[in-house]
Structure 1
C-alpha cells in the first residue's frame, strides 16, 4: 500500500460523513417538518466546528506530528455520526452532531491534505488530496440518499453505515508513516500565525475565489433542491441525491482538467472556475423562477465544474506560495475561506422576506463577477510586477 493512501482514506471517510447530510436536508424538511431556514442552519452550523479544526489542526500537527493529531480527529467522526443518528428524537442533537463532524472535517482537511502531499514523491499530492475529498463528498450523499429513500430507518441507517466505514479507516491510520518530528518548544499561539496568508498571490488570486468553492457546491445541492420542492413531489430526496452526485462527479472530473490547464497557465484554471460558477448561479436563478428539474441538473453541471476548478486552483496556489513549515497552516486558512460558502444557504433563506430567490441569486452572480474581476486584475498585476522595466528610449 502506498504511504499516502492512509491519510487519503481519512479524507474520503470524513468527507463521506460530512457531506451525506446534503440530500438528507430534504428528508428533514419533509419528514422532520423543520422549516427551510432551520434545515439550512443544520447545514451551515457545520462551519462553526470546521473553522477552528482547520486553523488549529495544521499548526498542532506541525508541533506534535501528523498521525497524533489526525488519528483522534478522524475517530471523532464516529461519535459525530452516532449523535446525528439520535437527532431524529431531539433537534439539539442535529446541531451537536453537525458541529462534531465539522470539527473532524476541519482537522482532516488541514492535516491529511498536507500529509498526502508530503507522502507523494511524484508531485501529485494536491490532486490526490482533492480527489479523495471529492470522492468522499460524492459517495456519502449517493449512499446516504439512497438509504434514506428506500431503506428502513431513514434518519438513522445512513449514519450507521458511515460508522462501519470509519472503523477500518481509523484502524489503518494507526500505521500511517509520520513525516514530522515532534519537539517544538515555542508557544502554540505563535504557530497559529501564518505569515504566508499575507502573500500577494494569496490575497489577489486565492482569497477572492476561495468562498465560491463550497459556495458553488452549496448552491447546487443545498439551495437547488429546496427550489424544486413542489416539482419533485414524493421524489424530492431522490432528486436531491442525484443533483448532489452530479455536482460532485463533475467536480471530480473537473479537477483533472484543471490540473492539465494549470500546467500550461498558472492562473487560467481559477478564472475558468469562477466563470463556471457565475454561469451556474444564473442557471440556478432560472430554476428558482421555473422550478425546472432538467434546468437544475444543468446548474449542477456548471456549479460542480466551477467547484472542481476553483478548488484545485486554490490548492495549487497554496503549494506554490508556502514553504514546508507553513504549508499546513496556509492550507488551513485556504479551506477556512472556502467553507464560508456553506453559510450561503442560511444567508439566502434569511433574506427571502426582502426578495425572492431569482433576485437573490442574480445578486449572488453579480458578487461572483466582482470576484472574477479581482482575480483577473490580480493575475495581471502580478505578471506586470515580474516584467522587467523597459529603459527610457528603448521602446518602439
Structure 2
C-alpha cells in the first residue's frame, strides 16, 4: 500500500474513523425501542454503557500510551472499535447490545488519548493552540459523521439495525491497515519502557493533576468538557424522543442529521475560534450553553421548529468553544511527560458529564415524563453553565507555553 498521506494525516483519519462508531447508534435508538419494547431509562442506560467503557479505559488503561507509544495503542483501539461495531450490528437483545457499546467505549478511550498525544507530537509547527484545535475538531467531525451516516442508511435501506454499521466497519478496517503500513518514529526513551514486563501497577487507576498554580484553570477546563459532553449527550440519547414535540419531521435521518449538525457546526466554531484567546472561548462557550438550555426549556412548551433550530446552533457553539478551551488548557498546563495523564483526567471529567446527568434524566423521564424531566435538566445544566461562565471571567488569563 502506497501511503502518500503523511503520518499526521493518517493519525487524524484514524481518530476520525475511530470515534465515528461511538455516536452511530444514536438515531437508531427509537428503532431499538420499537424492536425490543424499551423505556427511556433503558435507552439512557445503553447510552451510558458506552460511557462506562470509556471511563474504565481512561482510568485503567490511561498509561498504556506512555508505556507502548501512541501508534501501538491507536492500532489496538481501532481493532477493538471495529469489533465493538460488529458486535452492535449483530446484537439480538439489550445485554448483547450493551456489551458492544462497552467495547466501543473502551476503544474510544484508547483512541482519543493515543491519537491526541500523537497529533500533538507530530505537529511540527510546535503550536499547541493549533494542535488542540485540530484534535478537538477531528473528534467533533468523527462523532458527527457516525449518526449522520447511520441515520441516513437506517431511514432508507433494509435491515437498518445491521446496515447502518457497515460504513464504520469498512473504514475501521481501512484505518487499521493504513496504520500498519505507515512508519512513525517513537521517542528513543520508549524502547526502555517497552522492554520492561507489564506489571499490575500499570493498570491501576490513575488521576493526574497539574501543578498547583494551574489547578483553577485545569478545573475550569475539565468543567468545559463536563458541560459540553453533558449537553451533547442529551441530544445523542433522547433527542429522537423529545424532538417529536418540537419539529414536524421524524425518523432516523432527521435525528441523525440534528446530532451530526451539532457536531459539524461545533467543528466549524472550533476552526473559526482557533486564533482567539482561550479565556474568551470558555466564556462565550459557557454563555452559549446557558442560551441553549433556555431555548430548550421554552421550546418544551412552545413546540417551535425555529426555537429548536436555534437551540441546536447554540448547543453546537457551546460544545465547540468549550471543547476547544478545555483542550487548549490541557495543552497549556501540561508537559510532554504529563500530557497523557492530564488528558485522561480531563476526559474522565467529561465522561462523568455524560453519565451522571443523563442517568438522572432517564430516571426522571420514567417517573414524571420526558417533558418535565427535560425542563429539570435544562434548569440544572443552565445554572451550572452560568456559574462557570462567571467563574471564568474572574480567572486570570493562562499564558501559552512552548513545550
TM-score under structure 2 length normalisation? 0.87
Is the CA contact (8 Å cut-off) linking 2:16 and 2:138 kept in structure 1? yes
Offset from partner CA, 1:113-145 (integer Å, 9 cap, x none): 110110011223222222221111111111100
In the alignment, which residue of structure 2 is the partner of 1:347? 360
Indicate whether 1:188 and 2:173 are aligned.
Answer: no
Cα distance in 2 between the residues matched to 1:13 and 1:197: 34
Indicate whether 1:178 and 2:185 are aligned.
Answer: yes
Offset from partner CA, 1:50-108 (integer Å, 9 cap, x none): 01222344421111211222211111011101111122x22111110110000000011
2:318 to 295, 306, 325: 306
Partner SS, residue 207 of structure 1: helix
Is the CA contact (8 Å cut-off) linking 2:227 and 2:381 kept in structure 1? no
Which is further off, 349-358 or 335-344? 349-358
Offset from partner CA, 1:317-340 (integer Å, 9 cap, x none): 111110101111111111121122
1:78 to 71, 75, 82: 82
> Cα distance, 1:194 vs. partner?
1.9
1:371 to 388, 395, 400: 388
Cα distance in 1 between the residues matched to 2:142 and 2:52: 21
Equivalent pairs counted in the alignment come to 378
In the alignment, which residue of structure 2 is the partner of 1:3? 7
Is the CA contact (8 Å cut-off) linking 1:77 and 1:104 kept in structure 2? yes
Give 1:240-389 correspondences, 5 Å limit.
240-262=255-277, 266-343=278-355, 344-352=357-365, 353=367, 355-379=372-396
In the alignment, which residue of structure 2 is the partner of 1:389? none
Partner SS, residue 116 of structure 2: helix
Cα distance in 2 between the residues matched to 1:156 and 1:234: 24
Indicate whether 1:103 and 2:115 are aligned.
Answer: no
Partner SS, residue 55 of structure 1: helix
Q: Cα–Cα, structure 1 residues 301 and 220, in superposed 2: closer, same or farther, change >3 Å?
A: farther
Offset from partner CA, 1:146-177 (integer Å, 9 cap, x none): 00111111001111221111111011112351
In the alignment, which residue of structure 2 is the partner of 1:394? none
| Structure 2: runs of 5 or more not aligned | none
Cα distance in 1 between the residues matched to 2:70 and 2:103: 20
In the alignment, which residue of structure 1 is the partner of 2:157? 151
Partner SS, residue 299 of structure 2: helix
Partner SS, residue 155 of structure 1: helix
Is the CA contact (8 Å cut-off) linking 2:138 and 2:267 kept in structure 1? no
Offset from partner CA, 1:5-28 (integer Å, 9 cap, x none): 222122111111111112222322
Partner SS, residue 196 of structure 1: coil
Is the CA contact (8 Å cut-off) linking 2:30 and 2:240 kept in structure 1? yes
1:38 to 37, 42, 47: 42
Cα distance in 2 between the residues matched to 1:68 and 1:43: 28
In the alignment, which residue of structure 1 is the partner of 2:253? 238
> Cα distance, 1:182 vs. partner?
3.1
In the alignment, which residue of structure 2 is the partner of 1:164? 170
1:61 to 58, 61, 65: 65
Q: Cα–Cα, structure 1 residues 205 and 34, in superposed 2: closer, same or farther, change >3 Å?
A: same
Which is further off, 4-13 or 139-148? 4-13
In the alignment, which residue of structure 2 is the partner of 1:136? 142
> Cα distance, 1:41 vs. partner?
1.2
Cα distance in 2 between the residues matched to 1:232 and 1:213: 23
Which is further off, 312-321 or 118-127? 118-127
| Structure 1: runs of 5 or more not aligned | 384-396
In the alignment, which residue of structure 2 is the partner of 1:388? none
Which is further off, 354-363 or 5-14? 354-363
Cα distance in 1 between the residues matched to 2:318 and 2:228: 7
Q: Cα–Cα, structure 1 residues 220 and 379, in superposed 2: closer, same or farther, change >3 Å?
A: farther
Cα distance in 2 between the residues matched to 1:233 and 1:197: 51
> Cα distance, 1:351 vs. partner?
2.3
Q: Cα–Cα, structure 1 residues 131 and 28, in superposed 2: closer, same or farther, change >3 Å?
A: same
Q: Cα–Cα, structure 1 residues 195 and 176, in superposed 2: closer, same or farther, change >3 Å?
A: farther
Q: Cα–Cα, structure 1 residues 356 and 194, in superposed 2: closer, same or farther, change >3 Å?
A: closer
Q: Cα–Cα, structure 1 residues 191 and 149, in superposed 2: closer, same or farther, change >3 Å?
A: closer
> Cα distance, 1:33 vs. partner?
2.7
